[in-house]
Structure 1
């Protein structure tokens, strides 16, 4: 199931990693190094991806280099949403890519999350897809479009200040190509033209009822690459392994990047999923366990996929 593993999601974004607890990212650096070692020990063939930067910040990347983190990852990742949240225009994508490549010229750079909301108009989302494809698909080795489904309003978005963020918050619910009622937006049909080259990024909540439909829609589109998440916090729920197994089985036809993230409340320095852990090795152990279970080094690629849920 797994061919690459991302070590946390947007660790330089305060909605996902609490800067009050770890203001210089030294705990994150220790966490990432431990996780990188654990993933490599479980299966050296798995590509280790540094948590996607959002915002795109070469100074943060230099800090990671100073801490030695880059010695334990194989790929650098960035996230960008210039038509929704970033304070730069979409045509600056080449410049943003170049400034990161200048810091780490010896590692591949992937855009592991890029998207456009239909909050203002669905036609804007179509334009955003077309322009993003034009700017990125011939410039980086991989890019992943976010996302397949709109986020259901009842679930809430993972942000720091929620509704107090105004329209920035509500855009989270309109990033998909499939509306909450299950009907496709115009972007869904347009994506078919890019599906062989664009990956898709889709989060799944615990016991997500959309899982099987997502797999069917990905096959329909012809998408071969998927990025999703595996929550350390969820691993403490009852029947967590059953959910992870179902997820692995449903997603086994795809080249899957799993993003390991989310601190369990009872293991954080603060009881919140964005908190650094009291013992970072616990996160590394979870990463190693997941790779051993779903991408064991003893199996070839085809065997690993056929026996993912064991």
Structure 2
């Protein structure tokens, strides 16, 4: 089932929202308000999550509040990668959560946290153990990124690419399972907390890893998954068939689904990070997905955002 809907992904990061096209996030705010209201109208039981911010920025939350965004969501989410991209220590996680709690009464979820094995697999083991110690029980939801390594030949969805140097290549080492299907040492540690710590796993269009991912999650005892349904993908041939297959495969998990990625032909600029020319079109997509996969008539009672 879908227990929560996240509206966009890392909107305060230029890899996912173009600040040159929307420098004060006014268009983004309108987009979120429309989407949040549309989701609520279809199924009030769905928890609405403001797309996980990266970097963690209380000033950005205040800006969103000033735009009225927080009236259209139930949860504020954060993402953090202190051993790979962030300029703060992994031991600061509780303080980083507290920074956001200090500026909003909304619950705070950690919807993406991870440690790559780019430097050493032992670092990932340490990072997973320490993350579990610091965050489980501290926030209502924690999602580890990710189950699978991103295959090198696919390329990461980021605007920086090789200009980041080694930072770019870290995108390909965030999984607990290597591209050849063999587990890394940290997988054993994740299995110990799988019932409490969810997984965040993107599935590409017609992703061949879908069935393997479900089998692994069942074996590990994972209960909660965060993934995405791409607005841009919805315009591909056979998109609905793929969405149906994906959501059917994930039916036994509590899913937080992320709606994001602007179709090139609908953006102010032809890029997935662009604001839409008509934000209502994105809201309509969100409403369609909730109506198709989590209609009010078949939903369970709302999950407490806590």
Q: TM-score range by the shorter chain?
A: over 0.9
SS of 1:153's partner is: coil
Structure 1: 5+ residue stretches without partners: 303-310
Corresponding residue for 1:168? 167
Corresponding residue for 1:9? 9
CA RMSD of superposed structures (Å): 0.8
Corresponding residue for 2:113? 114
CA distance in 1, matches of 2:249, 2:187: 21
Residue 189 of structure 1, CA deviation: 1.2
Corresponding residue for 1:297? 296
CA distance in 2, matches of 1:77, 1:257: 12
Corresponding residue for 2:61? 61
**1:278 aligns to 2:277 (yes or no):** yes
- Matching of residues 21-40 of structure 1 within 5 Å: 21-40=21-40
Q: 1:109-158 deviations in whole A, cap 9, x for unaligned?
A: 10000000000000000000000111111211110000000000010011
CA distance in 1, matches of 2:81, 2:133: 15
Corresponding residue for 1:258? 257
Residue 107 of structure 1, CA deviation: 1.6
TM-score, normalising length: structure 2: 0.97
CA distance in 1, matches of 2:192, 2:48: 29
Residue 164 of structure 1, CA deviation: 1.1
Corresponding residue for 1:287? 286
Q: 1:250-303 deviations in whole A, cap 9, x for unaligned?
A: 00000000000000000000000000000000000000000000000011439x
Corresponding residue for 2:304? none
Asked if 1 retains the 8 angstrom alpha-carbon contact of 2:45 and 2:299, the reply is no
Structure 1 stretches of 4+ moved >2 Å: none
Residue 190 of structure 1, CA deviation: 1.2
**1:205 aligns to 2:207 (yes or no):** no
Segment of structure 1 superposing worse, 75-84 or 293-302: 293-302
Corresponding residue for 1:306? none
SS of 2:179's partner is: coil
- Matching of residues 135-284 of structure 1 within 5 Å: 135-284=134-283
Corresponding residue for 2:76? 76
CA distance in 1, matches of 2:238, 2:77: 32
Q: 1:53-105 deviations in whole A, cap 9, x for unaligned?
A: 1000000000000000000100110000000000001111111011100001x
How many residue pairs align between the two structures? 301
CA distance in 2, matches of 1:161, 1:135: 30
Structure 2: 5+ residue stretches without partners: 302-306
Residue 161 of structure 1, CA deviation: 1.8
Corresponding residue for 1:87? 87
